[in-house]
Amino acid sequence: MALPAIIPKAIHVPLHRVKSTTNRLSKRGTTIPLVEDIDLSELAVKVSIGTPAQDFMLIFDTGSADTWIPSTECSAMDGCPTFLKHFKQSESSTFGELQDDFLITYGIGSARGTYFKDTISMGDLTIEDQMMAYVTNAVGPISEQEASTDVDHIILDGILGAGLSDGTSRFLQGKGEKYDPFPISLYKAGQIPNPVFSVSMTNDGGKLVLGGIDTEAITDKFIYTNLVDTNRWSVNVQGFQFHNHQNVEESRNFKFNIETPFGVDTGSNFMYLPRALANDLALSITMNQNTSFALNENGVYTIDCQFGSSLDSINIYFKSSIDKSLVNINLPVSQLITKKASEDECLLLFIPSDDKFIIGNMVLRDFVTVFDFGDIPRIGFAPSKTSLSIAGE
């Protein structure tokens, strides 16, 4: 008698919110002052690598596709502080070194090392021979952590790239064939039921659902929009709207005349907007009072804290995956303003950019976000029950 096949189930994995203890609050972006809130933090997940298992806390990053950890060859002088977990490849019986060099550059920082294959586990899920990299040199936020001033008692050791197979560094650089990042490997190995994962956030952390969607966390239906290309989680934004709650006639529409891709990136804190749009939105939020906001030397908008109680909102428009109609997500303006720790001054949580545009976790925390890597890759958004309040805290 044949035993019934085991049907894989979606796995729920806790996400940790790790507050930055340096002035560099994201691996992509700019150097800005620290702010007093849970918002400027990274989403992290615990994984185990090797046999026997060695545990690491990694940034869960949909903006890149490569997973990397510090090696024992990476010293503090090389950008790997002693308080990081260092991978001891000689102690893993399942370790398999490759000859391919690993090099990745972020908006802030970089990492260099060597690709290898080994066992990696997250919760109850395990992939054997997963391709990853150990680094011998690192520059950026992970290198700049301060154990003595850590506020969460959690140290980030490296990055888990949850991007797409075409977006792996060696493939993009023409140095080797593409390979599958961990979530895609799980699906192809039959360990999760669907080619999808979802991310939701709470004050305490959040939830990553591998192979499914956190439908219990939503307040409305999902809208879906197709990916722009195959190498990153990127969608076309059709435009923005500033909605004035008191006087609809003073609402403003900002429609893009050309296709404008935005990366949907859990590894970035801020939203990065075209420079002209960012300026226009800042003007609209401050009711056209030029004296109520300014762009500081770090490229971040400072704003009068009175606008933290604004009841206005911003809509972001996409083209629906289903019927190509315009669909939108809605953000209260109050969710895009936060207070600096050291001064009675507030910041806008979007930044002007001249090239790459990003929807970061300052926006994503208001939604359950679905990353679907099926036959027609797409991203979905639904309002979250646990939308985090940030203004005026």
Q: Give the three-state DSSP class for 243.
A: strand
User: How many other CB atoms are there within 10 angstroms of residue 347's CB atom?
Assistant: 24
User: Other CB atoms closer than 10 Å to residue 207's CB: what's the count?
Assistant: 18
Using only the alpha carbons of the chain, give its radius of gyration: 21
Contact, 160 vs 67, CB < 8 A? yes
SS3 string, 135-174, reads EEEEECCCCCCCHHHCCCCCCCCEEEECCCHHHCHHHHCC
* Distances, alpha carbon 352 to alpha carbons 253, 263, 264, 275, in Å: 18, 15, 16, 4
3-state DSSP assignment of residue 331:
strand
The whole-angstrom separation of Cα 171 and Cα 166 is: 7
Amino acid at 129: D
Rounded Cα–Cα distance for residues 43 and 66 (Å): 16
H helical segments located in 216-318: 275-285
Measure the CA–CA gap between 210 and 188, rounded to whole angstroms: 13
Q: Side chain identity at 54, as an amino acid letter?
A: Q
Catalytic residue among 265, 312, 366, 372: 265
Measured from the Cβ of residue 323, the count of other Cβ atoms closer than 10 Å reads 7
Catalytic position from the list 37, 61, 180, 214: 61
Catalytic, 265? Answer yes
**Which residues, at least 6 apart from 209, have a Cβ–Cβ distance to it below 8 Å?**
10, 11, 12, 13, 197, 198, 200
Contact assessment for residue 378 and residue 327, using Cβ atoms and an 8 Å cutoff: no
C-beta atoms surrounding 24 within 10 Å: 19
Q: Let me know if 98 is exposed, middle or buried by CB neighbors in 10 A (0-12, 13-18, 19+).
A: middle
Amino acid at 337: I
Which positions are annotated as active-site residues?
61, 265
